[in-house]
Structure 1
Amino acid sequence: MAEQVLIQFRADKALKKDVAEIYEQLGMDLPTAFRMFMKKSKMVRGLPFDAVLPDVTTSREDFRKAFYDLREEAIDLQDMSLDEINDEISVVREKSKRGKR
């Protein structure tokens, strides 16, 4: 038998309880489920499930509402000069470039 190690991590108490109940209904305890997760991760050399962002669909009405909400927030803001606007654009572009590296 391979040498055993103890693995510890923190989790939300309610989440642990809910997940433990699911595994109990499947006839196993939490440590067994985590060992299965680790073995399957090793087999597939990654997460043993798809890890993708969900498709986000935004309606025209969602965009319209966001536009009007932002316009309402901007009522009390001071006008910006063209130089201030260009400075802000430059900062955003620089952050974007750093994020792509």
Structure 2
Amino acid sequence: MSEQVLIQFRADKDLKQEVSYIYEELGMDLPTALRMFLRKSKQVRGLPFDAVLSDPSSGREDIRAAFYGLRKEAADLPEMTLEEINAEISEARSARKRGKE
């Protein structure tokens, strides 16, 4: 086993308690969860989750408008039979298999 070091940092008390409770429900303590975070960071060579800035121009109304626009487009599409759906799935699987060979 490699040499152990102590890592200390400050965190909001309420946040620590809430997060500790979550990890306890998962069967682990906070130090174990933090070690898992560090190991995953090493594995992916970065943050183990997406860290992106939200687009400030994408407000709730923009998202709602996009949703209803896509919904309207989908309503204009012809209905597919179960056989057509299964054939499309089968073709996609075959194409994926051909790509792997």
Alignment partners' CA distance in 2, 1:44 and 1:54: 22
Give runs of aligned pairs for residues 1-101 of structure 1, distance below 5 A. 1-56=1-56, 57-58=58-59
**Amino acid in the other structure paired with 2:33:** A
What residue ranges of structure 2 are gaps of 5+ in the alignment?
62-101
Structure 1: runs of 5+ lacking an equivalent: 60-101
User: CA RMSD, aligned part only?
Assistant: 1.7
Instruction: Give, as a single letter, the amino acid of the residue that structure 2 aligns with 1:38.
Output: L
TM-score where L is the length of structure 1? 0.55
Identity of aligned residues (%): 73
Residue aligning to 1:94: none
Q: Which amino acid aligns with 1:55?
A: D
- Structure 2: distance between partners of 1:54 and 1:28: 32
List structure 1 runs of 4+ shifted beyond 6 angstroms. Answer: none
- Report the number of matched residues: 60
Q: Give 2:46's aligned amino acid.
A: G
